[in-house]
């Protein structure tokens, strides 16, 4: 599996606080079947905004430690950007990192609010050549109430969190994630892991549930084929 949403960089956001915790998370991810992952620290007002270059440097530093420890996990760099006007300018000036320096941007919405600029920001990103990858839509109230609304977001890839499928984020998020899968609207299943105790990966258990809903062929697409296209900056053949 390729994990396209992960908080593993130590002392950056609400992920691991120490290198030891980051290494423990990396080992758990490998045990869960992950061979490649994109480190996506938060890009919002709650944490210091690390530039794209700093995130890449931190990823490279952690990769060196992983390699020395013999942990077979390949790391790439990115951000999880909270939606706001001006994201294009932040990409252009090197403040905001796309996923592995590709055309794909991990985009987070507000959980309980659909800001008026949502469609405009997405349209501007698409016009600039950036494909938004929408993080955990099953946890947004707007899609919990109207899951069909996701289909109206043209040119946006949908990424659900694995643990939502086993009820970690509540019954409503579970039901919404199942609905999105059954309707063929999901392009990636990611861990969104933050540590071993705070939002652990729980990938294998979650994927066992997912394969019952979508079958093995579709499962291959959402955990390997489309994530491969993202990290290689290739078009997603939907």
Q: What is the per-residue pLDDT for 153?
A: 86
- Segment-wise mean pLDDT, segments of 10 residues, the chain, 238 residues: 98 96 98 98 96 98 98 98 97 98 97 89 96 97 90 90 95 96 95 93 94 95 96 86
Q: What is the per-residue pLDDT for 238?
A: 62
Q: What is the per-residue pLDDT for 209?
A: 94
The SS3 of residue 74 is: strand
Residues 6+ apart with CB under 8 A from 9: 15, 16, 22, 39, 41, 55, 58, 59, 62
Total-model pTM: 0.96
Per-residue pLDDT of 178-188, as tens digits, reads: 999 999 999 99
Say how far apart CA 96 and CA 78 lie, in whole Å: 8
Q: What is the per-residue pLDDT for 232?
A: 97
**Domains (ranges, CATH) in the chain?**
2-231 (3.20.20.140)
- Asked if 82 contacts 44 with a C-beta cutoff of 8 angstroms, the reply is yes
Per-residue pLDDT of 91-149, as tens digits, reads: 999 999 999 999 999 999 998 888 889 999 999 999 999 999 999 999 999 999 998 88
CA distances from 113 to 83, 102, 123, 135 (A): 11, 28, 19, 15
- Strand-pair partners of 38: 76
Both tokens assigned to 138: 């099953």
């Amino acid at each position: 599996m390729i994990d396209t949403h992960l908080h593993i960089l130590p002392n950056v956001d609400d992920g691991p606080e120490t290198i030891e915790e980051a290494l423990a998370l990396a080992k758990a991810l490998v045990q869960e079947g992950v061979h490649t992952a994109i480190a996506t620290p938060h890009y919002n007002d709650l944490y210091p905004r690390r530039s794209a270059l700093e995130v890449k440097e931190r990823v490279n530093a952690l990769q060196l430690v992983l390699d020395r420890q013999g942990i077979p996990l390949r790391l790439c760099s990115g951000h999880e950007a909270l939606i706001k006007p001006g994201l294009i300018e932040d990409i252009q000036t090197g403040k905001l990192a796309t996923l592995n320096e590709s055309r794909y941007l991990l985009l987070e919405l507000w959980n309980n609010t659909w800001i008026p600029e949502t469609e405009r920001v997405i349209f501007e990103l698409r016009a600039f050549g950036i494909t938004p990858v929408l993080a955990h839509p099953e946890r947004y109230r707007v899609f919990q109430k109207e899951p069909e609304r996701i289909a109206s977001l043209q040119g946006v890839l949908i990424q659900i969190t694995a643990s939502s499928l086993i009820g970690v984020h509540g019954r409503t998020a579970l039901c919404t994630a199942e609905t999105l899968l059954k309707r063929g609207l999901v392009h990636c299943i990611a861990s969104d892991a933050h540590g071993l105790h705070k939002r652990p990966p729980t990938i294998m258990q979650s994927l066992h549930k997912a394969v019952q809903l979508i079958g093995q062929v579709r499962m291959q697409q959402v955990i390997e084929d489309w994530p491969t296209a993202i990290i290689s900056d290739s078009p997603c053949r939907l």
